[in-house]
């Protein structure tokens, strides 16, 4: 990273240029991401066209003061322009040698919804003639002018279509002219045509706004700056900020930069590139460019861009490529991460226009972090901080089955090869529209969405599909972008494929597929096959779960493991898993779990014919009958626990006593057939079963006869479970396996509830130790999942040796909202931002989180070494993991496959907390 930069108070404008650069890469908050990095690039000697950045503070002031600029701003702006004139040797408004600039918005992070960049500012009738003379290219000069009028008229003066279905007003005028002069393409318009177009554009602006287009460059500049600030508060930007929780008072910076031109002929070009492949992470130059083009032409998809490596062979711009390749290395070295950058070549000379950390797939993330840390280009801290925990899921996505894949190749089913834009394998029926894709996906079919190219309208279909295939578009196309961000399998720009939407066909090399036919795409290689290809577990699962692959044979595993090992070095939060069976425990341990945070004993009640004994127990009138039924269950439970203890090999096991309401074990009221069966099994009448079902029926099972309430009314259940746990512990100890049972009493709101259960547990423990002659350590604690439990946590901690927050129930009880029927209003609540996120997915920090904090503080006030964890769904949610770290929990517990996500999130939480100190 660049060195820290000092700053004077009230400085409103920062220069970047050869003679002087005020800002730096560490000033993103003040200069925006774009401005800070332009300064950083200038400082390390990269060829950046000079310019200046107006700070975000000016924007903040502007809004705080009824859209007025701070005192002295006008004077500073004039000085800045004068500085730029000196720096470039050109002059604003000088017909002989005009200074032209771009005006670019720039928040801390690139933000859709902000103002579009205005290029070529400074042009008017006189300077356009000057530009023509200076370049000897009249067409270029007048084309630049008409582009400027179009951009300025649109974004600054508001000449925009009024309804969604209208044409763009400028496009209309251009279209009309093209009709009159009988040309089809923009490039066919001559200088004279363009001069006419400029005239008509000016008239359009006048007619539309009642104001003339400003000739004076300084007036143009002031207008553009106000428009950038104005766009900070436009609807799209506001909505975006709300969605991503970006505060309004960050403001945006404005970058004013001298223009360079990629559209000056065959020796000029413009492009975008990544320093490494953002889909696979390979250390190869990745990007594309267009000769004789300006601005967003590459991304807009008007012409098909060329691959960056082709540049080397181009006799005009080949030499600039050599420099670009050097820049690629310089950028990585200085920014310490893969860069996504924009460049322009003007008459063989290279200019850098932007750089930022590149977005990447999970595969690319682990590979790049692994490689760059080893190459000493990236710090280990950055390797951890820059990952998206949730995205690690992508590494578990299926790949092609090796045999089926070879078979498909042998059969010659390979149709085409495009760009490997999103790693993984997708197979399914081919759909040519987003609607069809959604429709089929809803029916449970695997779908591959194939489009000539995709646009934001296709988003829902893309989400519904297993994979995305496009015929057109490169690395910066919409499809590739979405694939990178959502982790979708994607092959982009398979140019040999022809899709005919009208006929509903996809053709390539003599093969024709109809919509609905099977297709398979390999997003790791770019290959497209016709027909289905069986998929297999991801390499990660093959190594860790199925154990059919050795770690040394899987690169992906090695990269993943490198990151996880690194994460474990940084994190302080423990990671446990929610698991009820030995195989689940083994998987979770393979993924890095350090113990069980929640073992739900009731899941064991459903296996095989145990449910009959459970029902007998429920049905029994007399305590002695109940005990008999429980005695049948005991050996089953004991066996289960033994299996779990063995799988844990000495790691802690937090086991919860029976929690759900008893009616869940009986066929429900409308299930007459089920009741009949139970009556037969248990040798009783249907009427009797029905009576019982009625009696146990709960209006709101969440608040009813469940949790520790069961164990208090029917202590023999707790007794049986405690006995099963301790006998299992003793048995496994005899085998030489260490055990660490933690017995957890659910739904405690009163200390006395816990006391009564603990009494039973301790008594049984003593009995079992005596009977078996084995001594074992164990602890008894409680789940904190009702508000009263949080508020009286100090009392409860007198008895409890540990707490575990059951945030599913705590959220339900704190919000008075039942998770199962919240679907009828919660989506609307999220839309209206009554809740920012689904509180059942991410902890409601201000409400439920506050209760947790009270629980932690009060609990530890009585027992300062109180171990506290969380075992609700939230334990695997990255933002909730960060919250848990911050309130001082000892561990989080989540489902086995989310363990890697929690490990990375926990490491990030520790690093972020350390950075704040």
Residues that bind Mg ion (CB under 5 A): 354, 785, 806, 809
Q: What is the DSSP letter of 821?
A: G
Q: Which listed option, Mg ion, ligand ADP, none, makes contact with residue 49 (CB within 5 to 8 Å by class)?
A: ligand ADP
Contact (Cβ atoms closer than 8 angstroms) between residue 913 and residue 885: yes
Catalytic residue from among 871, 874, 884, 894: 871
In angstroms, give the least distance from the CB of 370 to Mg ion. Answer: 29
Q: Which listed option, ligand ADP, Mg ion, none, makes contact with residue 441 (CB within 5 to 8 Å by class)?
A: none
Residue 372 and residue 336: Cα distance in Å, rounded? 8
Nearer to ligand ADP, 343 or 557 (CB): 343
Contact (Cβ atoms closer than 8 angstroms) between residue 542 and residue 548: yes
In angstroms, give the least distance from the CB of 188 to Mg ion. Answer: 29
C-alpha Rg value of the chain to the nearest Å: 33
Q: Which residue has the tokens 């190869």?
A: 284
| Alpha-carbon dihedral 499, 500, 506, 512, rounded to 10 degrees | -140
**3-state secondary structure (DSSP) of residue 3:** coil
Alpha helices in 454-606 (DSSP H): 459-464, 478-486, 539-544, 555-570, 582-590
- 269 forms beta bridges with 291, 345
List contacts with ligand ADP (CB under 6 A).
Answer: 49, 102, 104, 110, 117, 119, 257, 259-260, 270, 295-296, 342, 344, 353-354
Residue of this chain nearest to Mg ion (CB atom): 809
- 871 classed as catalytic: yes
Catalytic residue from among 382, 478, 663, 874: 478
In angstroms, give the least distance from the CB of 84 to ligand ADP. Answer: 11
Q: Report which of 820, 818, 839 is spatially closest to residue 829, judged by C-alpha positions.
A: 839
In angstroms, give the least distance from the CB of 905 to ligand ADP. Answer: 30
Nearer to ligand ADP, 102 or 792 (CB): 102
Nearer to ligand ADP, 321 or 432 (CB): 321
**Cα dist. 832→241, 509, 839 in Å?**
14, 52, 14
In angstroms, give the least distance from the CB of 49 to ligand ADP. Answer: 5
Nearer to ligand ADP, 305 or 711 (CB): 305
Q: Which listed option, Mg ion, ligand ADP, none, makes contact with residue 119 (CB within 5 to 8 Å by class)?
A: ligand ADP
Residue 496 and residue 492: Cα distance in Å, rounded? 11
In angstroms, give the least distance from the CB of 872 to Mg ion. Answer: 8
**3-state secondary structure (DSSP) of residue 303:** coil
The greatest distance separating any two alpha carbons of the chain, rounded to the nearest whole angstrom, comes to 106
Q: Which listed option, Mg ion, ligand ADP, none, makes contact with residue 748 (CB within 5 to 8 Å by class)?
A: none
- Please report how many Cα atoms fall inside a 13 Å half-sphere around the Cα of residue 420, on the Cβ side: 19
In angstroms, give the least distance from the CB of 38 to ligand ADP. Answer: 10
**3-state secondary structure (DSSP) of residue 565:** helix
Contacts of 302 (CB under 8 A, 6+ apart): none
Nearer to ligand ADP, 119 or 499 (CB): 119
Nearer to ligand ADP, 231 or 577 (CB): 231
Q: Which listed option, ligand ADP, Mg ion, none, makes contact with residue 806 (CB within 5 to 8 Å by class)?
A: Mg ion
Residue 482 and residue 627: Cα distance in Å, rounded? 59
Q: Which listed option, Mg ion, ligand ADP, none, makes contact with residue 337 (CB within 5 to 8 Å by class)?
A: none
Q: Which listed option, Mg ion, ligand ADP, none, makes contact with residue 880 (CB within 5 to 8 Å by class)?
A: none
What pairing do the DSSP bridges indicate for beta strands 425-431 and 447-451? parallel
Residue 318 and residue 18: Cα distance in Å, rounded? 25
- 762 classed as catalytic: no
Rounded to a whole number of angstroms, the distance between the first and last alpha carbons of the chain is: 21
Quickly count: other Cβ atoms within 10 Å of residue 669's Cβ. Answer: 12
Residue 637 and residue 633: Cα distance in Å, rounded? 6
In angstroms, give the least distance from the CB of 890 to ligand ADP. Answer: 44
Structure token pair of residue 574: 């423990």
Nearer to Mg ion, 415 or 817 (CB): 817
Q: Which listed option, Mg ion, ligand ADP, none, makes contact with residue 117 (CB within 5 to 8 Å by class)?
A: ligand ADP
Nearer to Mg ion, 336 or 806 (CB): 806
Catalytic residue positions?
478, 871
């Amino acid at each position: 990273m660049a060195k820290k930069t000092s700053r004077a108070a009230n400085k409103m404008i920062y220069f970047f240029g050869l003679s002087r650069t005020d800002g730096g890469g560490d000033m993103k908050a003040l200069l925006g991401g774009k401005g800070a990095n332009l300064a950083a690039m200038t400082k390390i000697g990269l060829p950046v066209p000079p310019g200046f950045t107006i700070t975000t503070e000016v924007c903040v002031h502007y809004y705080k003061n009824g859209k007025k600029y701070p005192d002295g701003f006008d004077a500073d702006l004039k000085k800045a322009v004068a500085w730029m004139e000196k720096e470039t040797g050109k002059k604003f408004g000088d017909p002989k040698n005009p200074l032209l600039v771009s005006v670019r918005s720039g928040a801390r992070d690139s933000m859709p919804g902000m103002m579009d960049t205005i290029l070529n500012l400074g042009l008017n009738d006189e300077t356009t003639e000057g530009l023509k003379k200076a370049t000897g290219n009249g067409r270029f000069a007048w084309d630049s002018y008409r582009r400027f009028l179009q951009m300025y008229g649109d974004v600054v003066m508001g000449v925009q279509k009024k309804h969604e279905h209208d044409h763009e007003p400028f496009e209309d005028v251009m279209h009309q002219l093209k009709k009159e002069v009988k040309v089809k393409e923009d490039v066919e318009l001559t200088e004279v045509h363009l001069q006419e177009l400029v005239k008509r554009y000016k008239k359009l602006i006048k007619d539309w706004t009642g104001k003339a287009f400003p000739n004076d460059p300084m007036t143009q500049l002031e207008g553009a700056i106000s428009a950038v600030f104005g766009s900070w508060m436009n609807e799209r930007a506001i909505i975006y900020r709300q969605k991503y929780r970006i505060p309004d008072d960050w403001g945006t910076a404005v970058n004013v930069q001298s223009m360079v031109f990629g559209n000056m002929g065959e020796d000029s070009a413009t492009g975008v590139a990544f320093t490494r492949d953002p889909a696979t992470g390979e250390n190869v130059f990745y990007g594309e460019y267009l000769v004789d083009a300006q601005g967003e032409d590459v991304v807009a998809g008007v012409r098909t861009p060329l691959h960056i490596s082709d540049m080397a062979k181009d006799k005009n711009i080949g030499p600039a490529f050599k420099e670009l390749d050097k820049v690629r290395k310089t950028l990585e070295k200085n920014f310490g991460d893969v860069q996504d950058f924009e460049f322009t070549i003007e008459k063989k000379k290279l200019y850098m226009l932007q750089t930022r950390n590149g977005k990447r797939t999970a595969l690319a993330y682990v590979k790049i972090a692994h490689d760059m840390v080893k190459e000493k280009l990236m710090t280990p801290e950055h390797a951890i901080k820059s990952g998206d925990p949730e995205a690690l899921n992508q590494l578990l996505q299926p790949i092609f089955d090796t045999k089926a894949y070879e078979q498909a190749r042998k059969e010659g089913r390979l149709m085409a090869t495009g760009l490997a834009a999103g790693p993984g394998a997708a197979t399914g029926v081919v759909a040519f529209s987003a609607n069809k894709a959604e429709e089929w996906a809803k029916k449970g079919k695997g779908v591959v969405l194939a489009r000539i190219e995709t646009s934001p309208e296709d988003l829902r279909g893309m989400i519904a599909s297993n994979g995305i295939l496009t015929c057109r578009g490169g690395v910066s196309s919409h499809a590739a972008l979405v694939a990178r961000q959502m982790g979708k399998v994607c092959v982009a720009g398979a140019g040999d494929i022809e899709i005919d939407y009208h006929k509903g066909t996809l053709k390539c090399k003599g093969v024709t597929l109809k919509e609905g036919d099977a297709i398979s795409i390999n997003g790791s290689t770019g290959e497209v096959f016709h027909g289905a290809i069986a998929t297999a577990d991801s390499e990660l699962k093959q190594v860790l779960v199925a154990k059919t692959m050795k770690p040394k044979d899987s690169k992906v595993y090695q990269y993943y493991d490198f990151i996880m090992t690194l994460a474990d070095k940084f994190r302080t939060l423990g990671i446990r898993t929610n698991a009820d069976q030995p195989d689940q425990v083994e998987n979770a341990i393979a993924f890095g779990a350090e113990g069980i945070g929640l073992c739900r004993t009731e899941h064991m009640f459903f296996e095989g014919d145990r449910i009959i004994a459970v029902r007998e127990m429920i049905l029994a009138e007399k305590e002695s009958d109940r005990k008999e039924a429980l005695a049948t269950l005991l050996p089953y439970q004991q066996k289960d626990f033994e299996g779990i203890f063995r799988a844990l090999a000495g790691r802690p096991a937090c086991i919860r006593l029976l929690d759900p309401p008893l009616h869940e074990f009986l066929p429900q009221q409308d299930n007459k057939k089920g009741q009949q069966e139970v009556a037969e099994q248990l040798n009783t009448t249907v009427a009797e079963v029905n009576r019982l079902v009625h009696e146990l029926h709960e209006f709101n099972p969440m608040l009813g006869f469940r949790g520790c309430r069961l164990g208090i009314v029917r202590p023999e259940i707790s007794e049986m479970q405690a006995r099963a746990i301790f006998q299992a512990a003793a048995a496994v100890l005899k085998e030489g396996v260490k055990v660490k049972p933690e017995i957890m009493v659910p739904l405690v709101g009163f200390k006395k509830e816990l006391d009564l259960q603990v009494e039973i547990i301790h008594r049984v423990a003593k009995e079992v130790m005596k009977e078996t002659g084995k001594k074992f350590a164990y602890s008894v604690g409680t789940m904190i999942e009702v508000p009263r439990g949080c508020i009286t946590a100090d009392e409860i901690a007198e008895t409890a040796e540990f707490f575990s927050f059951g945030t599913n129930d705590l959220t339900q009880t704190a919000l008075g909202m039942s998770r199962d029927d919240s679907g009828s209003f919660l989506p609307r609540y999220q839309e209206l931002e009554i809740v920012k996120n689904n509180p059942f997915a991410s902890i409601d920090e201000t409400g439920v989180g506050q209760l947790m904090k009270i629980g932690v503080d009060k609990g530890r006030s009585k027992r300062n070494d109180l171990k506290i964890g969380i075992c609700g769904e939230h334990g695997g949610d990255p933002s909730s993991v960060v919250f848990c770290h911050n309130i001082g929990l000892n561990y989080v517990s989540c489902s086995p496959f989310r363990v890697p996500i929690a490990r990375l999130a926990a490491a990030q939480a520790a690093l972020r907390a350390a950075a704040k100190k």
